[in-house]
Amino acid sequence: MENHEHHKNKKMDHSKMDHSKMKNKKENHSKMDHSNHDGNAPMGMAGHDHHKMMIADFKKRFWVTLVLTIPILIFSPMIQGFFGYEFLLPGNPYILFALSTIVYFYGGWPFLKGIVSEIKSGAPGMMTLISMAITVAYVYSSATVFGLEGVDFFWELATLIAIMLIGHWIEMKSVLGASKALQLLVSMMPAEAHRVKGDTIEDISLEDLLIDDIILVKPGEKVPADGIIVEGSSYLNESMLTGESKPVKKEEKDKVIGGSVNGNGSIKVKVEHTGKDSYLNKVITMVEEAQKTKSKMQNLSDRAAKWLTYIALGIGFGTLAVWLLLGFPFVYALERMVTVMVIACPHALGLAIPLVVAISTSVSAQNGLLIRNRTAFEESRKISVLLFDKTGTLTKGDFGVTRIESVNESYSTEEILRLSSALEQSSEHPIAVGIIKKVREDKIDIPKLENFNAITGKGVEADVEGKQVKVVSPGFLRDEKIEIPKDAFSNAAETVVFVLIDGQLVGYIALADEIRPESAEAIKIFKKNNIKVLMATGDNEITAKAVSDKLGLDGYYAEVLPHQKVELVKELQGKGEFVAMTGDGVNDAPALAQANVGIAVGSGTDVAAETADIILVNSNPQDIANLILFGKATYNKMIQNLIWATGYNVVAIPLAAGVLYSSGFVLGPAVGAVLMSLSTIIVAINAQLLKRKIGKK
């Protein structure tokens, strides 16, 4: 009986689990330090508001700087000589100095503040390079006003700061889109709930809602909290929470998720979770945690950005020295150095990965893919073998009783069903649900039980009306050397459970589980991507083979207990396979932890599947195909951004240093600033394109 250890109310005793592997496998959820880089993706809702303020601040500083840059350009002798006009006011150098001082301190303040933060943290980066470039330009130009021989640099200083500000402003507006999906999740909860008190209904705020309160949800309203329907039925739209586009019919005793939208009927709901315990809040927390988590790719990007800063500083001062040694004027050598430092800002590199992380995590959450381990998600592209649990994943998990057979004249088929139903009444396992459904259809009263016990991976037992009743898998009979009736298994894809009373086999119940229509399509996608698909099930050989043959799997393992799935995963890994295990977040916990990528499926509102790297809200195997393809697309975007961000520097830094001087091509600081800002915006836009990739085959 597949994973029939089901009366544990879907809770794991984590104290008994071996977490040693998980400690190595799970990411260190250390928080990303964005203090030095205000342009990075916002990570929380507080960060979201801060980000908006930063955008407004950069916008204001840009417009003020632009207004001041215009007279600086007009009064600059170099610009006048370039355009062939003369317009010098009395004290012209001092006017330029005054205007440029305002531009330097007001427009350049975010960068000057940034260098202090970067030096304090011992991580010089983008702000260090920009600050050094504008400070050197300002100090040298100011010195020329007060007696130093040379040409001022004010017009280039002003245009440089203006372009840097507009680059940051545009890029930050683009980055803001990364948190939009998370903001949408936050805004999904209504502000109020209609609480039912006897015959009256009162409107209360969500903060005042308590567990076990009864709330009324009218047609078209959002459900205020997780709960169970106690009255009425309706179709609910859960697309923003689960990725399921079709409205789902919900009736009495069905669970509803806070944030879903009620359709055509009024329903009364008994509140199960509120506030931080709600499904939506768990999803938001998980998304935020995943966005904060640094994967291997993120750490690689951080190291590259750090080294780029050191290289830029080295090349910058080296450029200054070389041009001076070649006998060029100090102002020319200085211009080359400033251009190198501006061009080499690791802004695009610093943004390349965090922005993709923020977008992929929040977009995944909207489509029912909850990422707990960033590295595992990015490495899903390496998956070579996918090991499926059968029930509820490849199949619907919606069992219906097809046969009840008695092998003992003392017990009728109805009596076998009645006694076995006592053991299954409180379970959510698909087999148990199928048996209870049959009992209700036949209007059979369910007897009470005593001394209930789960037989690990093999079934359940209890005392019912003075008899010891067991409902067990074929594996249990084999272990106990009990002969299995010859006609117990048909050639259909049936699951068979056996009923023992006082140690004697009295009969069996066969249930059929329909194969999901999406399974075949998903398996085609896996095969197209060179992924072998295997199935490990607790079901018998005949059932396993029937499902495997129908779906065209690469292999199957029948009558496998939960702990044996770990051995299967290890065996496959020993053959050099990169294994993804999909299964129940509770029963298959050890195998999920052992796998290279652990995917918990069918968790529904139980998002706390501790050992899984990725949780799928739905059990649809097509979601796993989407997950793997989206993981590949995410990794590709990261690589594209890294190639662009580093490749741009490889080409642009030598040009900034003046390698093509002999050909008459010289890159000015302002043009360098435009290129640097453009590279950052290209990286941001490329990351945003990732949103189109989810669900693409």
How confident is the model over 262-274, as pLDDT tens digits? Answer: 888 899 999 998 8
Q: In this structure, are 330 and 420 located in the same domain?
A: no
Q: Is the pLDDT of residue 451 over 80?
A: yes
* Domain range enclosing 215: 210-273
pLDDT confidence of residue 19 = 37
**Where is the domain boundary, 591, 617, 643?**
617
Q: In this structure, are 503 and 538 located in the same domain?
A: no
pLDDT confidence of residue 607 = 45
Q: In this structure, are 80 and 151 located in the same domain?
A: yes
**Where is the domain boundary, 186, 201, 218?**
186
Q: What is the DSSP string of 176-192?
A: HGGGHHHHHHHTTS-SE
Q: In this structure, are 55 and 179 located in the same domain?
A: yes
Which CATH number fits the domain that encloses residue 261?
Answer: 2.70.150.10
- Whether residue 483 lies inside any domain: the answer is yes
- Whether residue 229 lies inside any domain: the answer is yes
Q: In this structure, are 96 and 226 located in the same domain?
A: no
Q: In this structure, are 71 and 168 located in the same domain?
A: yes
Rg (CA), the chain: 33
What band does 639 get if pLDDT is binned at 50, 70 and 90? confident
pLDDT confidence of residue 52 = 75
Q: Would you give the DSSP letter of residue 90?
A: T
CB-based burial, 532-554: b 16+ in 10 Å, e otherwise: bbbbbbbbbebbbbbbbeebebe
- Whether residue 572 lies inside any domain: the answer is yes
Q: In this structure, are 384 and 329 located in the same domain?
A: no
Catalytic choice (389, 539, 584, 613):
389
Q: In this structure, are 520 and 501 located in the same domain?
A: no
pLDDT confidence of residue 380 = 86
pLDDT confidence of residue 407 = 92
**Where is the domain boundary, 582, 617, 652?**
617
What distance in Å separates the CA atoms of residue 136 and residue 338, rounded to the nearest whole number?
A: 8
- Whether residue 670 lies inside any domain: the answer is yes
Q: In this structure, are 640 and 535 located in the same domain?
A: no
- Whether residue 156 lies inside any domain: the answer is yes
Question: pLDDT tens, 341-376?
Answer: 777 766 667 667 777 877 787 777 777 777 777 788
Q: Is the pLDDT of residue 227 over 50?
A: yes
- Whether residue 196 lies inside any domain: the answer is no
Which CATH number fits the domain that encloses residue 382?
Answer: 3.40.50.1000
Give the lowest-confidence range in 136-150, 545-559, 630-644.
136-150
Nearest to 520 by CA among 622, 391, 617: 622
- Asked if residue 31 lies in contact with residue 290, where contact means CB atoms within 8 angstroms, the answer is no
- Whether residue 341 lies inside any domain: the answer is yes
Q: What separation in angstroms does the CA of 257 have from each of 162, 201, 358, 583?
A: 49, 21, 24, 22
| Backbone torsion region of residue 2, taken as left when φ is above 0, otherwise alpha when ψ lies between -120 and 50, otherwise beta | beta
Q: In this structure, are 130 and 268 located in the same domain?
A: no
Tell me if residue 584 is catalytic: no
What band does 426 get if pLDDT is binned at 50, 70 and 90? low
Amino acid making up residue 628? I
**Token pair listed for 361:** 């995590």
Number of domains the chain is built from: 5
Helices 109-120 and 126-145: crossing angle, nearest 10°? 130
Spell out where 394-433 has E strands: 395-406
Q: Is the pLDDT of residue 389 over 70?
A: yes
What band does 38 get if pLDDT is binned at 50, 70 and 90? very low
- Whether residue 116 lies inside any domain: the answer is yes
Q: In this structure, are 97 and 150 located in the same domain?
A: yes
Q: Is the pLDDT of residue 4 over 60?
A: no
Helices within 76-125 (DSSP H only): 77-83, 92-102, 109-120
Question: pLDDT tens, 132-153?
Answer: 778 877 888 898 888 776 667 7
Q: Which residue has the higher pLDDT, 358 or 387?
A: 387
Give the lowest-confidence range in 205-214, 275-284, 402-411, 522-531.
275-284
Q: In this structure, are 374 and 498 located in the same domain?
A: no
